[in-house]
Chains A and B, each alone.
Chain A
Amino acid sequence: MALPQAKLDATEARLAALTPLAGGAWLTAAQDQAVARLRAMGLPGRRDEYWRYTRPDRLISVEPTPASVFKAKDETPIFDAFDAIKLVFVDGVFSPDLSDQPAVDGLEIERLSDAGAKDIHWAKDLYGVLEARGQNPVERPLAALNTAYAQDGFLIRATGKVSKPVRMIYLHESTTSDAILHHVIKVEEGADLTVIENGPAAARFNKVMEVDVADTGAFHHIRAQGRDHERQAATHIFARLGRESLFKSFTLTANGVLTRNEVVIELTGDDASAHVAGCALGDGDFLHDDTVFITHDAVNCESRQVFKKVLRNGATGVFQGKILVKQGAQKTDGYQISQSLLLDDDAQFLAKPELEIYADDVACSHGSTSGALDETALFYLRSRGVPVKQATDMLTLAFLAEAIEEIADEAIADEIHDRLAAWLQRRRG
């Protein structure tokens, strides 16, 4: 079907302002294919069903809406206490000076611009490939745009149990920066890798991460999206999981005027497991959208989606989750929960938790709730002498606990918990 003229115009205007990263044959081919994909679908518009609850205008405009840089006073940056291989980006550009020299057993890290210049590279089979697979049945044009025009990023390959996490730090310095990053991660058979990401990255941030986890491999992902109020972000994770592999991802989002996090996972090997979780806290001008699509295409796999949102002062939370169980994907265990705590009357929660099931021997369930704090629980705490503000925080943290429990590493879970508690304390009414 022909695209509406307005959509074509918006797409062409955006493309005209971008230049692809120069590279060798494999990268150029991937970029060209992505441009063709993008032209065929057009950038998202506000009438698109998949963008029903989140207006994409600011994510597709030619120039980004400026966003001021937020500097936390006297605060230790999150995750600084953990030993990790640091890779620092400033406004979407890698800064070797600020970064560590990665030299760890079982780990190969290459910058996209270096690897892209080579004639042949292992990433050829993944770069833009998992993204392209994730375009069906739902189109994700911003991801295709990313594959075509990513300016930087890393190709990371884990061949064994990696002793330290890889930590990517995204600093935001310019109020008008528009960053496009693309990472490819390959976890080989039996390998184990943790990737931590934090920071707002830019005024506008478009990021794609393609993750291929081979049989019996494990991948852990922890992310804290920076606290800059005015930043806008559209991120995608495309993951493909082999037999008996594990994928776990947790995202903490506090503040941010517009965030759309899409996670697309395909379970292709038997007995694989995928967990995606997130906590989002919003106060005021805040829209946070978690869009998750999990496809079960193998036997005896498990997937969990746990998303919690705390919203106040007109903040909006969006959840679009889907479990697709293909024919033959028997013994699937799929779970999905999306909950919102609305701390005042202006907050909104918009959800579309979907199931599409073509196999009969499966256990799939989903739940979605929305409402205020439980008055009875609040009353109980107050009757025990807890002041109302503290009681509210306690109950809010209890509400968020199920998502935090999805983090395997206890130290990281504690850090996330502390940050959530601090945020709530700062914003007590």
Chain B
Amino acid sequence: MAQLDESQIREGVDRETVETVQSMAGKYKYGWETEIEMEYAPKGVNDDIVRLISGKNEEPEWMTDWRLQALARWQQMKEPKWAMVNYPEIDFQDQYYYARPKSMETKPKSLDEVDPKLLATYEKLGIPLKEQMILAGVEGAEDMPAEGRKVAVDAVFDSVSVGTTFQAELKKAGVIFCSISEAIREHPELVKKYLGSVVPQSDNFYATLNSAVFSDGSFVYVPPGVRCPMELSTYFRINAENTGQFERTLIIADKGSYVSYLEGCTAPQRDTAQLHAAVVEIIVEEDAEVKYSTVQNWYPGDENGKGGIYNFVTKRADCRGDRSKVMWTQVETGSAVTWKYPSCILRGDDSQGEFYSIAITNNWQQADTGTKMVHLGKNTRSRIVSKGISAGHAQNTYRGLVSMHPKAKNSRNYTQCDSLLIGDQCGAHTVPYIEVKNNSSRVEHEATTSKVDDDQLFYCRSRGMDEEEAVALVVNGFCKEVLQALPMEFAMEAQQLVAISLEGSVG
């Protein structure tokens, strides 16, 4: 980690922020490896590999065909080059597309049958795979009412789901929470109906590759009117070397339902870069609400930019029903290269999309991330708050689209994206696209921290604070508000992030 000397801390950026960024992005705590016997599919991707993955998951024929179609499309596509990220050419044939622990060959019937080495891995990561009540390391969790403490976890290890907790209890509420491979077998009608309906089979280069070779991931279905009784969570761990992870997540919130979903991920420290290309599809029906929170902590590479995960992710939510709502919250601290734009299609009238993001890059990390808000329905609302922090030699880009279609009357968007640079070797960039095609909608994009609410400032000043203090208080308060959008389970990370102030930001 590049040591930060006094001269690098510039006026207007407080020390605490600098130190927090350094500690968050500096030492990677999850870089160890689980020694476990693995079985691999041969390297490379072709029809046979796709059939093999499909076969391992015991998939029906329609699924295999769907994958093969995607592969055929992918073979015609070119890797996108528009993002502000640079990395050596990826040899897609020099990767393993499927790796699973030998012990998972016969699927364990319950968590008790799972290889203890795997369970130990998740325990070490702080992810509870026993149906325990309290999450390790969350301050104050023991004081919470019993109901609020439960988190159901689907644990994915390389290409397979190791186990899913609390399935029985969720079933009682009618909620289906399982691995996607299980869903394809057990609930083919739901998967058939929704898979690829938000992110089409050949949406973009990486999503198409994912459609062909995805090995596992999570599936959630919340029936009409049900408020999911606990938080759902998936934890992704890449362990095997030279192996790409391609997970697929499908979340369906039926009419009037609610679910909060968390995603976490880590990987061992290695010299060679590894590929991760995920697809997340969310379907939100009438009056339903989905909260999707991510703490992305893949291995970022070492201080010389060696190794790390290439994170190419397509995430999209389709607010199909009227008054539906989706909220993306992401904290991006890991990965050598991030290419990720969680998006909202606001199709239903009065639907709402929100995107809160904090992206921290250090050393040689590169992040090109943001969102798309596509307003199609009337009275739709969206809000984008993005904070990018760049240190060392890192590059951090916000890229976003706000589109108001002619029929999206009386819609509203507010975008704020701030960036903070720590040191003079890094970069921060903003690439927003704004497309407004009706006049009853209002779109505002701003990228300054000086535009703090005047009333709040006035109030603080009337209480005797000087202007700087007042601005700091309001800005910090605002940042905390974003972090509070994160569920309790991410409190550890969030507590650290709260120390980040965005004074001295540039648009």
Give the residue name and chain of the B residue nearest to A320 (CB). B433
Contact digits for A358-371, partner B, Cβ 8 Å, 1 yes 0 no: 11111111111111
Task: Please state if A357 and B436 are interface contacts (CB–CB under 8 Å).
Answer: no
Given A340-B436, A345-B438, A360-B422, A355 contacting B445 (CB threshold 8 A)? no
> A348 in the interface, Cβ–Cβ < 8 Å?
yes
Tell me, rounded to whole Å, the shortest Cβ–Cβ distance linking B188 to chain A. Answer: 39
Task: Please state if A354 and B429 are interface contacts (CB–CB under 8 Å).
Answer: yes
Contact digits for B432-472, partner A, Cβ 8 Å, 1 yes 0 no: 11111111111111111010000000000000000000000
> A66 in the interface, Cβ–Cβ < 8 Å?
no
Task: Point out the residues of chain B lying under 8 angstroms from A328, CB to CB.
Answer: 424
From B423, B429, B446, contact of A355 by CB (8 A): B429
> A301 in the interface, Cβ–Cβ < 8 Å?
no
Task: Please state if B439 and A365 are interface contacts (CB–CB under 8 Å).
Answer: no
Task: Please state if A360 and B443 are interface contacts (CB–CB under 8 Å).
Answer: no
From A352, A366, A371, contact of B433 by CB (8 A): A352
> B1 in the interface, Cβ–Cβ < 8 Å?
no
Give the residue name and chain of the B residue nearest to A312 (CB). B439
From A355, A359, A361, contact of B430 by CB (8 A): A355
Task: Please state if A352 and B431 are interface contacts (CB–CB under 8 Å).
Answer: yes
> A170 in the interface, Cβ–Cβ < 8 Å?
no
> A353 in the interface, Cβ–Cβ < 8 Å?
yes
> A351 in the interface, Cβ–Cβ < 8 Å?
yes
The docked-state distance in angstroms from the alpha carbon of A358 to that of B440 is 38
> A21 in the interface, Cβ–Cβ < 8 Å?
no
Task: Point out the residues of chain A lying under 8 angstroms from B435, CB to CB.
Answer: 348-351
Give the residue name and chain of the A residue nearest to B415 (CB). A368
Tell me, rounded to whole Å, the shortest Cβ–Cβ distance linking B34 to chain A. Answer: 40
From B425, B426, B439, contact of A342 by CB (8 A): B439
Task: Please state if A349 and B436 are interface contacts (CB–CB under 8 Å).
Answer: yes
Give the residue name and chain of the B residue nearest to A323 (CB). B507
From A362, A366, A371, contact of B443 by CB (8 A): A371
CB proximity to A under 8 Å, residues B80-120: 82, 84
Task: Please state if A371 and B431 are interface contacts (CB–CB under 8 Å).
Answer: no
Tell me, rounded to whole Å, the shortest Cβ–Cβ distance linking A54 to chain B. Answer: 13
Task: Please state if A368 and B10 are interface contacts (CB–CB under 8 Å).
Answer: no
Q: Interface residues of B toward A: which range?
A: 35 or more
Task: Point out the residues of chain A lying under 8 angstroms from B425, CB to CB.
Answer: 327
The docked-state distance in angstroms from the alpha carbon of A344 to that of B436 is 12
Task: Point out the residues of chain A lying under 8 angstroms from B301, CB to CB.
Answer: none
The docked-state distance in angstroms from the alpha carbon of A362 to that of B427 is 12
From A342, A352, A358, A365, contact of B447 by CB (8 A): A365
Given A352-B431, A355-B506, A367 contacting B442 (CB threshold 8 A)? no
From B421, B434, B444, B507, contact of A352 by CB (8 A): B434
Task: Please state if B419 and A357 are interface contacts (CB–CB under 8 Å).
Answer: yes
The docked-state distance in angstroms from the alpha carbon of A361 to that of B438 is 39
Task: Point out the residues of chain B lying under 8 angstroms from A407, CB to CB.
Answer: none
Task: Please state if B432 and A371 are interface contacts (CB–CB under 8 Å).
Answer: no
Max count, chain A CB within 10 A of own CB: residue among B422, B430, B439:
B439
Task: Please state if B445 and A368 are interface contacts (CB–CB under 8 Å).
Answer: yes
Contact digits for B262-302, partner A, Cβ 8 Å, 1 yes 0 no: 00000000000000000000000000000000000000000
Tell me, rounded to whole Å, the shortest Cβ–Cβ distance linking B88 to chain A. Answer: 18
Task: Point out the residues of chain B lying under 8 angstroms from A57, CB to CB.
Answer: none
Given A364-B506, A366-B507, A372-B440, A357 contacting B429 (CB threshold 8 A)? yes
Tell me, rounded to whole Å, the shortest Cβ–Cβ distance linking A135 to chain B. Answer: 19
> A356 in the interface, Cβ–Cβ < 8 Å?
yes
Tell me, rounded to whole Å, the shortest Cβ–Cβ distance linking A47 to chain B. Answer: 12
Max count, chain A CB within 10 A of own CB: residue among B10, B435, B436, B437:
B436
Task: Point out the residues of chain B lying under 8 angstroms from A348, CB to CB.
Answer: 435-437
Tell me, rounded to whole Å, the shortest Cβ–Cβ distance linking B167 to chain A. Answer: 47
Max count, chain A CB within 10 A of own CB: residue among B422, B423, B425:
B425
Task: Please state if B450 and A365 are interface contacts (CB–CB under 8 Å).
Answer: yes
The docked-state distance in angstroms from the alpha carbon of A363 to that of B421 is 11
Task: Please state if A357 and B10 are interface contacts (CB–CB under 8 Å).
Answer: no
> A343 in the interface, Cβ–Cβ < 8 Å?
yes
Given A369-B443, A371-B442, A350 contacting B423 (CB threshold 8 A)? no
Task: Please state if B424 and A344 are interface contacts (CB–CB under 8 Å).
Answer: no
Task: Point out the residues of chain B lying under 8 angstroms from A357, CB to CB.
Answer: 419, 421, 427-429, 506
The docked-state distance in angstroms from the alpha carbon of A351 to that of B447 is 15
Task: Point out the residues of chain B lying under 8 angstroms from A368, CB to CB.
Answer: 432, 434, 443-446
Contact digits for A27-49, partner B, Cβ 8 Å, 1 yes 0 no: 00000000000000000000001
Task: Please state if B439 and A343 are interface contacts (CB–CB under 8 Å).
Answer: yes
The docked-state distance in angstroms from the alpha carbon of A353 to that of B445 is 9
Task: Please state if A354 and B434 are interface contacts (CB–CB under 8 Å).
Answer: no
Given A367-B448, A370-B434, A360 contacting B440 (CB threshold 8 A)? no
Give the residue name and chain of the A residue nearest to B446 (CB). A367
Q: Which of A's residues lie within 8 Å of B, judged by CB?
A: 49, 327-328, 330, 340, 342-345, 347-372
- List the 7 closest pairs (A to B, CB-CB), nearest first: A342-B439, A360-B421, A365-B448, A371-B442, A365-B507, A351-B434, A355-B430
Q: Which of B's residues lie within 8 Å of A, judged by CB?
A: 10, 82, 84, 406, 409, 419, 421-448, 450, 506-507
Instruction: Pick 15 A–B contacts, CB within 8 A, sort by A.
Output: A328-B424, A350-B435, A350-B436, A351-B434, A351-B445, A355-B430, A355-B447, A355-B506, A356-B84, A359-B424, A366-B446, A367-B448, A368-B445, A369-B443, A371-B439
Given contacts A349-B434, A352-B431, A356-B84, 7 further A-B contacts (CB under 8 A): A330-B424, A345-B406, A348-B435, A352-B434, A357-B427, A361-B10, A367-B444
